[in-house]
Amino acid sequence: MGSDGGLKRGFWSMGQLDRELAESLLESARRHAAGPRRSAILPATEIAALFFETSTRTRVSFEVAATRLGATTIHFDSKASSLSKGESLQDTVETIASFGVDGLVVRSSAAGAPQLIADWTGLKVVNAGDGAHQHPSQALLDLYTLSERLGSLEALSGLRVGIVGDIAHSRVARSLMEGLNLFGAEVTLIGPATLMPPIGFGPAARMSSDFDECLGDLDVVYLLRLQQERIGQGLIPSFGEYVARYSLTRERYRRLKPEVVIMHPGPVYPGMEVDSAVIADESSLVRSQTRNGVFVRMAILEAVFGEGGRE
Ligand code: NCD
């Protein structure tokens, strides 16, 4: 059982999972990957997808996942909504809740918004990314994809994972660190000093501003996009400066261990955080991460909206 009572009220944060609950969600995702494409696990369940920030992978994979479980998703276009007429977020979500839907999948630029919306509406809410705070479905799909490549979840123990780039503004980094910590991996955060996280950002991790020095030690290189939309003025390194020190160029790639694994949550800005030839190489799990997002999100939706929710 998760530390705050499982996922019956929703899934906002990796902090809700202990190792056992994370393992059971990943096991459920494996069953969905191996099982029939469609099922009637969530018949007559209506889930509104409220994305107040842009998204391709997360949004569509949640919609595909819900459809495959027999649920119906209700599309909400925040740009075409009354939010643009000045309606408040609370009025907007309460309006949608009044239609009697069963739950919401929410992406917002405001940290904590999914939990707040769950409190306002009384509905189950799944977090699809909130500001620089959490992106728990991404962390689970990353754990799933890594364990698939390595053959087991146990293989994560002692694994050396370097998370590279704009750590301070990354909900992906924060959630993934928590997930990796559950399975005993060793994380090093690598990036420019101005994009390093504040103390208390996540579980304890080594920090380095010298990617070159770390290269030979890493089993996994997890690259992040520079989240320009969240970075304060003056803190964004120039393209040339960033590529010179932090891009996974072909030259740096050659200095990594032969069995290294490359990951990126997408969207990738080719030539910036990574060379496009490296992303296309067989050590790259980027395509698998995207594909596995559907199975992991099926497991999450089943746990939250299935019979009584998962304890
Ligand atoms: C990430 C996100 O939106 O947090 N992408 C994703 O969900 N696949 C990372 C990013 O935008 O850089």
Judged against a pLDDT cut of 70, whether residue 2 lies above it is answered with: no
Q: How far is the CA of 267 from the centre of ligand 1 (A)?
A: 7
pLDDT at 222 (0 to 100): 98
**Same domain, residue pair 268 and 301:** no
Task: Name every residue whose Cβ is closer than 8 Å to that of residue 104 and which is 6 or more positions away in sequence.
Answer: 47, 48, 49, 50, 93, 96, 97, 117, 121, 123, 124, 125, 126
What is the percent of the chain with per-residue pLDDT over 70, rounded to a whole number?
97
**Same domain, residue pair 26 and 92:** yes
* DSSP states along 213-235: HHGGG-SEEEE----GGGSPTT-
**Same domain, residue pair 123 and 143:** no
**Same domain, residue pair 258 and 237:** yes
The pTM of this model reads: 0.95
Which tens digits make up the pLDDT trace of 205-216?
A: 999 999 999 999
Model confidence at 5, pLDDT cuts 50, 70, 90, reads low
For residue 86, give its domain range: 4-135+291-309
pLDDT at 77 (0 to 100): 85
Model confidence at 4, pLDDT cuts 50, 70, 90, reads very low
**Same domain, residue pair 270 and 297:** no
Contact (Cβ atoms closer than 8 angstroms) between residue 70 and residue 39? yes
Model confidence at 308, pLDDT cuts 50, 70, 90, reads low
Interior/surface letters 223-234, b for 16+ CB within 10 angstroms, e for the rest: bbbbbeeebeee
Q: How far apart are CA 62 and CA 40, in angstroms?
A: 16
Q: How many domains does the chain have?
A: 2
Judged against a pLDDT cut of 80, whether residue 3 lies above it is answered with: no
Summary mean pLDDT of the chain: 93
Q: Any idea what the CATH number is for the domain that residue 281 is in?
A: 3.40.50.1370
Q: How far is the CA of 119 from the centre of ligand 1 (A)?
A: 25
Judged against a pLDDT cut of 50, whether residue 44 lies above it is answered with: yes
Ligand 1 pocket (Cβ < 6 Å) reads: 57-58, 129, 135, 138, 171-172, 225, 227, 265-266
Q: How far is the CA of 273 from the centre of ligand 1 (A)?
A: 14
Judged against a pLDDT cut of 70, whether residue 228 lies above it is answered with: yes
Which tens digits make up the pLDDT trace of 91-115?
A: 999 999 999 999 999 999 999 999 9
**Same domain, residue pair 93 and 210:** no
Q: Is 57 exposed, middle or buried (0-12, 13-18, 19+ CB in 10 A)?
A: middle
Pocket of ligand 1, candidates 135, 164, 231: which has the most ligand atoms within 8 Å of its Cβ, to mutate? 135
What is the percent of the chain with per-residue pLDDT over 90, rounded to a whole number?
84
**Same domain, residue pair 62 and 88:** yes
Mean pLDDT is lowest, of 53-62, 77-86, 157-166, 218-227, for: 77-86
If we measure between CA atoms, which residue out of 16, 296, 310 comes closest to residue 146? 296
List Cα–Cα distances, 90 to 69, 99, 255, in angstroms.
Answer: 29, 15, 51
Which tens digits make up the pLDDT trace of 260-287?
A: 999 999 999 989 999 999 999 999 999 9
**Secondary structure of residue 306 in the 3-state scheme:** coil
pLDDT at 8 (0 to 100): 87
Which tens digits make up the pLDDT trace of 184-200?
A: 999 999 999 989 998 88
**Same domain, residue pair 212 and 191:** yes
Pocket of ligand 1, candidates 51, 56, 57, 58: which has the most ligand atoms within 8 Å of its Cβ, to mutate? 58
**Same domain, residue pair 204 and 222:** yes
pLDDT at 232 (0 to 100): 76
Mean pLDDT of 247-267: 97
Model confidence at 1, pLDDT cuts 50, 70, 90, reads very low
**Same domain, residue pair 229 and 129:** no
Instruction: Give the number of the atom of ligand 1 that is nearest the alpha carbon of residue 293.
Output: 8
Q: How far is the CA of 172 from the centre of ligand 1 (A)?
A: 7
**Same domain, residue pair 56 and 158:** no
pLDDT at 311 (0 to 100): 42
**Same domain, residue pair 130 and 179:** no
Mean pLDDT of 114-126: 97
Mean pLDDT of 114-134: 97
Judged against a pLDDT cut of 60, whether residue 239 lies above it is answered with: yes
Q: How many CB atoms lie within 10 A of CB 302?
A: 24
Q: What are residue 104's DSSP bridge partners?
A: 48, 125
Q: How far is the CA of 107 from the centre of ligand 1 (A)?
A: 11
